[in-house]
Amino acid sequence: MEKKPRAIKDKRYEEKHKAERKAKNATWGTSIPREKAEQINAFLEKYGYTKVQLIEAGYKALLDDAGERNLSLGKIMDKYDDFFGFESEKNKSE
């Protein structure tokens, strides 16, 4: 039996599991200026972080910031559900 080159095996595997991967993960096609990207990459490499960790930490920071600006959201994020009557009614209309 002839061995197939690894590239062919990899391509067949990727094609076979493409739909599964797309259902499980999202890829964002975005760009930022090269200089900023190089600074970020250097920081990540220096401190041993991944781009996924960067995104997750940035998302958490933005959630925290949004929670500070929006009382209702902040209470939900803090799992604080003892709303005053007027707050509860306001949340329903938002």
**75: domain range?**
32-93
Taking only the tens place, the pLDDT of each residue in 1-41 is 567 788 888 888 888 888 888 888 888 888 999 999 999 99
Residue 26 lies in a domain: no
**How far is Cα 93 from Cα 53, in angstroms, rounded to an integer?**
35
pLDDT, average across residues 80-88: 58
Residue 89 lies in a domain: yes
Residue 16 lies in a domain: no
Residue 88 lies in a domain: yes
Check if the beta carbon of residue 72 is closer than 8 Å to that of residue 87: yes
Residue 80 lies in a domain: yes
Domain count for the chain, please give it.
1
Residue 48 lies in a domain: yes
